[in-house]
A = this chain, B = another copy of it.
Amino acid sequence: MTRKDWRIGIAGLGTVGGGLVKFLDERPGFAPAGGNAIVTGICARSRRPALSAIPWFDDPVELALSDTNDIFIELIGGADGPAKAAVEAALSVGKPVVTANKALIAHHGASLAAVAEAQGVPLLFEAAVMGGTPAVKILREAMVGDDIEIVAGILNGTCNYILSEMESTGAAFEDVLSEAQRLGYAEADPTMDIGGFDAAHKITILAALAFGCAPSFASAEVEGLQAIETLDIRLAKDLGYRIKLIASAARSEAGVSIRVHPALTPLDHPLARVGGVLNALFIEGRRVGRIFVQGAGAGAGPTAAAVAADIADVMTGAVRPVFQAPAPALRFVAPVDGAQAVGRAYVRLLVRDEPGVIASITETLAEAGVSIDSFLQKPIAGVGGVPIVLTTHLASESVLTDAVNRIAALPSMLEAPRLIRIARI
């Protein structure tokens, strides 16, 4: 057993940093293999009187380089700027790094992994994905004996909360978002969450772990929640689905596709049952089959526990590749052309109540090469016109888009058709 004192330097005292300081205070001498974990340096925007006994650093790079700490914890956030400079500095002097920074790893994971592995030190980031619920460790370590084919999850608690509330209250997206902001579940600028970018950072990291490719945020196709209406949520349920923001990464002969978009998820699938701010991940491997993990995706307690678990991993002396393969062997994956992706779709139309409308729609779909799986015409009070929803059989996205564009041009359309993908899980 390693029995020594581990000196911890913490940069950033936001939600996670505050939670970590609280954790190390509640668990004095946290070091599962013996020894002690002691905070010997802090860098944060404003000093905290309660922590005045701990040496304070104004510059995170200075803290990262200081030989007064053995492990550098980066909780500043942001893909570039001081977070990146400090992590690079720590790794360059052979210091283990633990971070909760998903943007940093999604954008610069490959180059940081190269530095960490050249120095033979760990770079760990369990807290970057699904907070305290293990996801990174499962893919990096537990699944290393499998060939993974798909990972798909609900990775953003804010979006899942909004969708759950829209379903249970019937309130509109904007109203639920305002309420979520009031409750602190959504940021004042919610773009990162509801635009799908936060989930895209996370699935980019998971894809690298699952498939041995370099994290490539630029390859992710991202569509947010903004266009989802409560009417879609109700109609999807009538068809046996719940709308979720699904982040997925799949391997095929064409390469690796990374996508975040709202998707109709079958009601009997475990991901459809994930409610509120919970996160969940579904992994399908060739040997292990289907694994499903669900838990808290954020919050000071869970995320600090994940950082603590990474600190414990550093203490064990384990050295393994940061992603599924050593950095020089990480493949840079060209994005798969989304237009060629094959899937099923839900299409909602609002049409004038006049003879021949349905015939014109079904003929247009047939001409475009799209075949219909289910068709529902449902009068809804207060809606001028007749709402129609249909689901399609498998078709490529380019064919689906072409079909929807043709339908949009029909004279009986009262508004632009809405297309939502059906999840392939």
Residues of A at the B interface (CB closer than 8 Å) are: 1-2, 23, 27, 30, 32-34, 117, 120, 126, 131-134, 137-138, 141-146, 270, 273, 285-296, 299, 301-302, 304-309, 311-313, 315-321, 324-326
Q: Are A141 and B312 in contact (CB under 8 A)?
A: yes
Our pick among B144, B145, B307, B315 for the contact of A304 (Cβ within 8 Å) is B145
Chain B residues whose CB sits within 8 angstroms of the CB of A288 once the complex forms: 131-133, 295-296, 301-302, 305
Chain B residues whose CB sits within 8 angstroms of the CB of A134 once the complex forms: 134, 138, 142, 291
Q: Do A318 and B316 form a contact, CB below 8 Å, given A288-B301, A295-B292?
A: yes
Copies in the complex: 2
Q: Are A287 and B304 in contact (CB under 8 A)?
A: yes
Our pick among B145, B308, B317, B324 for the contact of A309 (Cβ within 8 Å) is B145
- Expressed in whole angstroms, the Cα–Cα distance for A307 and B1 within the complex equals 23
Our pick among B294, B296, B319 for the contact of A316 (Cβ within 8 Å) is B319
Our pick among B305, B306, B312, B319 for the contact of A320 (Cβ within 8 Å) is B312
Q: Are A144 and B1 in contact (CB under 8 A)?
A: no
Our pick among B2, B302, B304 for the contact of A289 (Cβ within 8 Å) is B302
Question: How far in angstroms is the closest Cβ of chain B from A20?
Answer: 9
- Expressed in whole angstroms, the Cα–Cα distance for A315 and B321 within the complex equals 11
Select from chain B the residue with minimum beta-carbon distance to A33: B320
Taking A132-B288, A145-B304 as given, write out 19 further A-B residue pairs in contact, using a Cβ cutoff of 8 Å, ordered by the A residue number: A1-B319, A2-B319, A33-B319, A33-B321, A132-B146, A132-B287, A132-B291, A145-B309, A146-B305, A270-B273, A285-B305, A288-B302, A291-B296, A292-B294, A292-B295, A312-B320, A313-B318, A315-B320, A317-B319
Question: How far in angstroms is the closest Cβ of chain B from A10?
Answer: 15
Chain B residues whose CB sits within 8 angstroms of the CB of A138 once the complex forms: 134, 137-138
Chain B residues whose CB sits within 8 angstroms of the CB of A306 once the complex forms: 142, 145
* 9 pairs, A vs B, C-beta closer than 8 Å: A32-B324, A34-B326, A141-B309, A144-B312, A145-B308, A270-B294, A288-B302, A289-B296, A315-B320
Chain B residues whose CB sits within 8 angstroms of the CB of A142 once the complex forms: 126, 134, 137, 306, 309
Select from chain B the residue with minimum beta-carbon distance to A281: B293
Q: Which 9 residue pairs across A and B have the least CB separation, nearest first?
A: A145-B308, A318-B318, A132-B288, A134-B142, A145-B305, A291-B295, A287-B301, A316-B318, A292-B294
Chain B residues whose CB sits within 8 angstroms of the CB of A133 once the complex forms: 288, 291
Q: Are A117 and B293 in contact (CB under 8 A)?
A: no
Kindly name the residue among A27, A117, A132, A324 whose own CB sees the greatest number of chain B CB atoms within 10 A: A132
Kindly name the residue among A2, A23, A30, A305 whose own CB sees the greatest number of chain B CB atoms within 10 A: A305
Kindly name the residue among A142, A290, A311 whose own CB sees the greatest number of chain B CB atoms within 10 A: A142
Question: How far in angstroms is the closest Cβ of chain B from A32?
Answer: 5
Chain B residues whose CB sits within 8 angstroms of the CB of A324 once the complex forms: 32
Our pick among B120, B293, B309, B320 for the contact of A143 (Cβ within 8 Å) is B309
Chain B residues whose CB sits within 8 angstroms of the CB of A120 once the complex forms: 1
